[in-house]
Amino acid sequence: MKCRICGAKAVIYLRQHNLALCEEHFISRFEREVQKTIKKFRMFDRDDVVAVGISGGKDSTTVALVLHKLGYKVRGIFIDLGIPGYSAFSRNKVQNFAQKFGIPLEIYNLKEREGESLPEIASRRKDRICSMCGTIKRYILNKWALEIGADALATGHNLDDETATLLSNTLRWDVGYLAKQHPVLLPTHPKFVKKVKPLAFMTEREIAVYAILNGVDFVNRSCPFSKGAKSLRYKHLLNEIEVQSPGTKLRFYREFLEFQSKYLKPVESEPQLKECKVCGMPTTIDVCSFCRIFRRGV
C-alpha cells in the first residue's frame, strides 16, 4: 500500500478516513490534528506552562512528546505508586523517555511523600482500588500543577477513552456526567487547574503508531489492578462496531459534542466547594477524600 500524498510505502491505513500514509506524512498529520484540537477548544497558548502526568504508557508519553514537538512548555511528573513489579519498571521507562526527548520531569514517590504505597493502602481499605487510585492521582496531579504555576493539565485521554465513557454515561443516562464530558474541563475553584485532552480525537492505534515511529519505548503492559474494568468492555464493543462501520467512534464523539453544546447545560445544582480543613484543597466535605484515604483529620 502506498501513501496517498507522496506514493512512498505506507506505514498505516486509517480506515475511518480511507487514508494510507507514509511515516513522514502520518507524523505531520497527527501533529497537525492535535494542533487543530488545541486551537479549536482554546486549550492553552504558546507561552503557557502545560503540566502532564506521565505514567509511561503510550497515551501519556505521546501527549507529552507531541506537545513538546509542537513547541509548548511541557512539564512532566511520574507518580510512583509502589506497585510491585510495575511501578519501578514504569518509572525507569519514563525517566529514559524524559531524558531522551529533553522533557523536564519530577518523580513523586507515594510511599516517601505520603507514608504508604498504593498496595499498602488497599490492604486496609475496602474501596475499589481503581477508584481510590484515581482519587490519589487526580489530587497529586492537580496540586502539583498548581504549585508549578501550570496554566493547564494535559491528560492522554484518547478517542477510545472518550467514546467508552460516553457510551457508559449514555446507557445510564447520566445527564450530569454527559453535560461535563468535554475536551476542556474548566476549573470550578481557584485551586483547580484547567484540564485538557489534546488527544481526544486520536485513536489508540494512531497514538501507538506515532509513539513507535518517534522511538518512544513506552510501557506495553497493564496495571495489575486494572483487570475487569468496565471501560475495557465498552471499548471492546465499540471496536467491534468500528470494524463493521469505520468512523463510528469519531462520529459518535463529534456529534455528541455538537448536541451537548446545543442542548446539554451544566447541572445547576453543582455541590458547593470549600477547602479541606487538613490540606486546604477543594472538597465538598470537611476533610477531602485524599486526606481521608491517608487517615488525616478523621
In a domain? residue 31:
no
Residues 21-72 pLDDT 10s: 999 999 999 999 999 999 999 999 999 999 999 999 999 999 999 999 999 9
Closest residue by Cα to residue 82 from 129, 36, 117, 47: 117
Both 262 and 274 in one domain: the answer is: no
Residue 130 CB neighbour total at 10 angstroms = 16
Both 117 and 249 in one domain: the answer is: yes
Name the band, by pLDDT with cuts 50, 70 and 90, for residue 256: very high
Name the band, by pLDDT with cuts 50, 70 and 90, for residue 73: very high
Both 283 and 234 in one domain: the answer is: no
pTM of the model: 0.94
Q: What is the pLDDT of residue 27?
A: 98
In a domain? residue 158:
yes
In a domain? residue 18:
no
CA atoms within 13 A on the CB side of 116: 16
Q: What is the pLDDT of residue 225?
A: 78
In a domain? residue 35:
no
DSSP string, 95-107: HHHHHHHT--EEE
Measure the CA–CA gap between 103 and 197, rounded to whole angstroms.
Answer: 19
> Residue 239, class by beta-carbon neighbours within 10 Å (0-12 exposed, 13-18 middle, 19+ buried)?
middle
| CATH number, residue 95 | 3.40.50.620
Contact between 53 and 155 under an 8 Å Cβ cutoff? The reply is yes
Q: Lowest-confidence range among 56-65, 180-189, 224-233, 286-295?
A: 224-233
Kindly tell me the number of DSSP H helices and DSSP E strands found in the chain.
12, 10
Average of per-residue pLDDT across 169-195 = 95
In a domain? residue 26:
no
Measure the CA–CA gap between 136 and 93, rounded to whole angstroms.
Answer: 22
Both 279 and 198 in one domain: the answer is: no
> Residue 26, class by beta-carbon neighbours within 10 Å (0-12 exposed, 13-18 middle, 19+ buried)?
buried
Both 110 and 243 in one domain: the answer is: yes
The count of structural domains within the chain is 2
Whole domain around residue 201: which residue ranges? 43-220+229-267
In a domain? residue 240:
yes
Name the band, by pLDDT with cuts 50, 70 and 90, for residue 270: low
Both 288 and 151 in one domain: the answer is: no
State residue 146 phi and psi, 5-degree precision.
-65, -45
In a domain? residue 78:
yes
Residues 224-234 pLDDT 10s: 877 666 788 99
